[in-house]
């Protein structure tokens, strides 16, 4: 029995190492090298550095390779890289001639910078840019070797004054596909900073001369002194109703405008054309007193009634409920009407056809 036990112990000693080797081999067999994807940005570890190439472990079946050409494109970064460093790389080719992936430092840097810009939009945290050159629309800036733009309406100072200076801004648009990177200096500033820095050469209520720089469906943008600009909303163009702005203005037209307001938190300048003319409603209240009889042409026909042209900028409405059933009218046709409501505050005039009044009084007499 003693011999048998000795034999079993001997077997255990021999079989234990075999099991350990098998487990290790099985572990090796289950290991799968990472599959790289062309165009992706990944992180790798520097395993060797030579004057003309850098070897990177990216978890693939072979090390990745940064060539001398790529090192020349990013000399500063390449010179600072050391063995053991973890660095972002861009996959140019998943497998080159030697079976190694071809990697890029420069493209990885570009991807990283765009990601930083996109993340800055979500966080809303200010970033720093440097003014490079100005143009009519604003300021071209540099952000971590990417070029971006700050529109004039988003600058606190004149674009020319910002060249060569560092600005605190927030990213308001980052589109790598369109290579579009837009910043705002005003949105990065606190109300107190805006008040301190915002120095416009004009005040609310002043009359200025400018030129139309843009014609939009909802208004016109006017270039003002010292490279400032302001907006004339469609409702501030005329006391009359404006239907087609493009037929009234073109880029380059000289205009005289009034500074209606300056928004304190953004510095946005709101302008007015109509405020330079007298409000026609102010002097017409006596002329169109309730009960007054008038004769005016039909200016518009709508589903809810007809409009009579009282003055160049004022119409009165005869509501459809006050028009006899089946009665039809033509634009330009003159009608006799009575003023029911004249409200200069709400800018509303309600009319009643004179025939209705006469018809009503006739019916009363018959009834008596």
pLDDT attached to residue 349: 94
Closest residue by Cα to residue 90 from 150, 36, 154:
36
pLDDT over 90 for what percent of the chain?
38
Query: Environment class of residue 340 by beta-carbon count within 10 Å: exposed (0-12), middle (13-18) or buried (19+)?
Result: middle
pLDDT attached to residue 95: 77
Q: Residue 355 — pLDDT band, cuts 50, 70, 90?
A: low
pLDDT attached to residue 353: 92
Task: Name all domains of the chain by residue range, CATH numbers in brackets.
Answer: 41-110 (2.40.50.140), 124-196 (2.40.50.140), 201-276 (2.40.50.140), 293-367 (2.40.50.140)
Q: Which residue has the higher pLDDT, 28 or 338?
A: 338
Asked whether residue 362 carries a pLDDT value surpassing 70, the answer given is no
Buried b / exposed e over 112-129, threshold 16 CB at 10 Å, is: ebbeebbebeeeeebbeb
Q: Which residue has the higher pLDDT, 265 or 28?
A: 265
pLDDT attached to residue 279: 84
pLDDT attached to residue 23: 56
Asked whether residue 16 carries a pLDDT value surpassing 50, the answer given is no
pLDDT attached to residue 333: 93
Query: Environment class of residue 324 by beta-carbon count within 10 Å: exposed (0-12), middle (13-18) or buried (19+)?
Result: exposed
Q: Residue 4 — pLDDT band, cuts 50, 70, 90?
A: very low
- Most confident residue range from 5-14, 32-41, 246-255: 246-255
Contact call for residues 130 and 162 (beta carbons, < 8 A):
no
Asked whether residue 96 carries a pLDDT value surpassing 50, the answer given is yes
Q: Residue 200 — pLDDT band, cuts 50, 70, 90?
A: confident
Asked whether residue 13 carries a pLDDT value surpassing 70, the answer given is no
pLDDT attached to residue 7: 46
Q: Return d(Cα 1, Cα 4) in angstroms, integer.
A: 5
Model pTM above 0.85: no
Which of 96-100, 120-124, 149-153, 341-345 is the least confident region? 96-100
For 271-298, what is the mean pLDDT?
Answer: 89
Tell me: the pLDDT tens digits for 33-86? 778 888 777 888 889 988 888 888 888 777 888 887 777 767 767 777 889 888
Q: What is the chain's Cα-based Rg?
A: 39
For 336-363, what is the mean pLDDT?
Answer: 77
Asked whether residue 206 carries a pLDDT value surpassing 50, the answer given is yes
Which of 13-17, 72-76, 89-93, 238-242 is the least confident region? 13-17
Tell me: the pLDDT tens digits for 115-150? 788 888 888 899 999 999 998 789 999 998 789 999
Which of 31-40, 200-209, 309-318 is the least confident region? 31-40
Q: Residue 350 — pLDDT band, cuts 50, 70, 90?
A: very high
pLDDT attached to residue 347: 86
Asked whether residue 31 carries a pLDDT value surpassing 60, the answer given is no
Contact call for residues 39 and 27 (beta carbons, < 8 A):
no
Helix (H) or strand (E) holding 22: helix 2-30
Q: What angle do CA 267, 271, 272 make, to 5 degrees?
A: 160
Query: Environment class of residue 136 by beta-carbon count within 10 Å: exposed (0-12), middle (13-18) or buried (19+)?
Result: exposed
pLDDT attached to residue 196: 67
CA torsion angle for 328, 332, 333, 334 (degrees, to 10)? 140
């Amino acid at each position: 029995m003693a011999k048998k036990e000795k034999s079993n112990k001997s077997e255990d000693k021999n079989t234990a190492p075999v099991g350990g080797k098998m487990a290790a081999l099985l572990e090796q067999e289950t290991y799968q090298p990472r599959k790289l994807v062309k165009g992706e940005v990944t992180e790798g570890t520097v395993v060797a550095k030579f004057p003309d190439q850098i070897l990177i472990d990216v978890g693939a079946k072979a090390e990745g390779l940064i060539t001398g050409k790529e090192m020349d494109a990013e000399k500063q970064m390449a010179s600072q890289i050391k063995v053991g460093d973890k660095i972002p790389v861009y996959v140019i080719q998943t497998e080159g001639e030697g079976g190694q992936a071809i990697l890029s430092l420069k493209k990885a840097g570009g991807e990283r910078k765009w990601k930083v810009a996109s993340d800055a939009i979500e966080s809303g945290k200010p970033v720093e840019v440097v003014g490079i050159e100005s143009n009519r629309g604003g300021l071209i800036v540099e952000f971590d070797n990417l070029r971006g733009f700050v529109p004039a309406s988003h600058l606190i100072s004149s674009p020319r004054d910002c060249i060569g200076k560092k600005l605190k801004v927030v990213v308001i648009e980052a589109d790598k596909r369109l290579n579009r990177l837009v910043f705002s200096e005003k949105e990065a500033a606190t109300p107190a900073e805006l008040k301190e820095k915002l120095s416009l050469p004009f005040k609310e209520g002043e009359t200025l001369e400018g030129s139309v720089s843009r014609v939009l469906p909802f208004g016109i943008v006017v270039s003002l002194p010292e490279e400032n600009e302001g907006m004339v909303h469609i409702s501030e163009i005329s006391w009359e109703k404006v239907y087609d702005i493009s037929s009234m203005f073109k880029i380059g037209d000289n205009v005289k405008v009034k500074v209606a307001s300056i928004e304190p938190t953004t510095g946005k300048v709101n302008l007015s054309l109509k405020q330079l003319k007298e409000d026609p409603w102010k002097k017409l209240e006596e002329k169109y007193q309730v009960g007054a009889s008038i004769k005016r042409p039909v200016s518009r026909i709508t589903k809810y009634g007809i409009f009579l042209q009282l003055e160049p900028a004022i119409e009165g409405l005869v509501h459809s409920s006050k028009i006899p059933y089946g009665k039809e009218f033509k634009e330009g046709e003159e009608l006799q009407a009575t003023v029911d409501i004249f409200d200069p505050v709400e800018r509303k005039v309600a009319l009643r056809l004179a025939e209705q009044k006469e018809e009503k009084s006739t019916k009363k007499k018959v009834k008596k």
